[in-house]
Amino acid sequence: MEIDANGLEVLGHAECLALMQTIPIGRVVFTEQALPAVQPVNFVLDGDSVVIRTAPGSKLAAATRGAVVAFETDDFDTTAGTGWSVTAVGQARAVRDPKEIARLSRLPLQPWSPGPKEHFIRISCHRLTGRRIVPVAPGSGGQAA
């Protein structure tokens, strides 16, 4: 087990992908009007990339167009003091090919908020990092992962 400078277990690429598949919600991290911005979204993994849906004219669609973004997922058990987080950093690309859009439309990407969201964005998970908390006795820190 590899441990980083913060005492957290370093997760490998395959384990990062496996953990991401257990969670339907992640957070897109981008820049909006020169300020840091973050938005929770439903997502699915499609091969080695994250796929999200939004409305074509949404702020998220505009802000992530061709941009390098981060995509974060995590799961923490606040009672047990355990958990993990995985972050991908990669270029966000709008999906333009009608055949690919048709295929992505059939993926289990559950909608929550109302309105049509027929704009698909793919975020490469080429650069993927993950950490897991190795539980410790309380009294010495405050960084979750």
Residues 6 or more apart whose Cβ sits within 8 Å of residue 73 = 19, 20, 23, 25, 26, 27, 43, 85, 86, 87
How many beta carbons lie within 10 A of that of residue 85, not counting itself?
Answer: 20
Which among 128, 41, 126, 50 is positioned nearest to 93, based on CA atoms? Answer: 50
Backbone phi, then psi, for 15, in 5-degree steps? -70, -35
Which among 9, 74, 84 is positioned nearest to 38, based on CA atoms? Answer: 74
Tokens standing for 143?
């960084």
Q: Which of 85, 122, 124, 128 binds a second copy (CB under 8 A)?
A: 85
Does 46 interact with a second copy (rule: CB under 8 A)? no
Q: How far is the CB of 46 from a second copy (least distance, A)?
A: 13
Q: How far is the CB of 128 from a second copy (least distance, A)?
A: 13
Query: How many of the chain's residues bind a second copy (CB under 8 A)?
Result: 59
Does 94 interact with a second copy (rule: CB under 8 A)? no
Q: How far is the CB of 21 from a second copy (least distance, A)?
A: 13
Does 12 interact with a second copy (rule: CB under 8 A)? no
Does 139 interact with a second copy (rule: CB under 8 A)? yes
The footprint of a second copy (CB under 8 A) covers: 5-8, 24-25, 27, 29-31, 35-43, 52-55, 58, 60, 68-70, 72, 74, 76, 78, 81-83, 85, 87, 89, 109-117, 133-136, 138-145
